[in-house]
Amino acid sequence: MIAKYRLLALDMDGTLLNDEQLITPETEKWIKKAVEAGVHVCLSTGRAFRSALPYAEQLGLQTPMVTVNGSEVWRAPHELYRRSLMDPVLVTQMYEIAQQYGIWFWAYSLDEVHKRDNWDGNVEGREWLKFGYQTEDDDIRHKLLLQLQDMGGLEITNSSPYNLEINPLGVNKAAGIREVCKLLGIDMSQVVAVGDSLNDLSVIQQAGLGVAMGNAQKTVKQEADVVVASNNKDGIAEVIQKYILAEAKIITAATVAVK
């Protein structure tokens, strides 16, 4: 079976995982069918590598991974290909903004996730990948967004309607998946990218087929080529059945007819 789409790029939270943080048996079954059909399945997540790895292992994936919204690209699990670090000066500035508003924040360094309740102030002594804020106060979040935009040099997205996630400018899932395509010798037109939040938007816009989950944020649904069922109703299984394996059968049938 020849697949039109060669790479399935999967966001994790709100996409691959249901609300209980699990891959359902149905979704796992269809991912394995896609792999058997020769499709590369790549986890493309805002999570850190160590948080994403158990799910890659559950699915038996040995393919590249994109973690921390594109700050890291892995040639294969445990084999780092590229890492983009954030300027510690920016981390300090973003920490001070969190203090100014008194809101919850987190920052990913190479060794751990630093939050408001375990922040030790050692910014210069670490290598940083991502910073994030969480607040359900729309007014504060809007002011925060404007302040971050004024700083410049930042890629600002979210992984839920109530947070903001910040990476270095140019570091995003689309850039990460482009590097994965080079590693695999394929084109972005051969990619199906699936997600639910603004940190998925760049890759959904640039992939051959951009897919929004049924639970996706409004902007993501508007920009996607198709919308499937939610993360709690096996939307990924639908993607694979309708848009990957069905396309592969059509191509196979056409090839046989030509022969």
For the annotated catalytic residues, the residue numbers are: 11
Q: Tell which residue, 20, 55, 7, has the closest CA to residue 231.
A: 20
Q: Tell which residue, 91, 99, 82, has the closest CA to residue 180.
A: 82
For the chain, strand residue ranges (E) read: 7-10, 40-43, 65-67, 72-76, 79-83, 104-109, 113-115, 128-134, 154-157, 163-168, 191-195, 209-212, 226-227
| Residues 6 or more apart in contact with residue 158 via CB below 8 angstroms | 164, 165, 197, 198, 199, 217
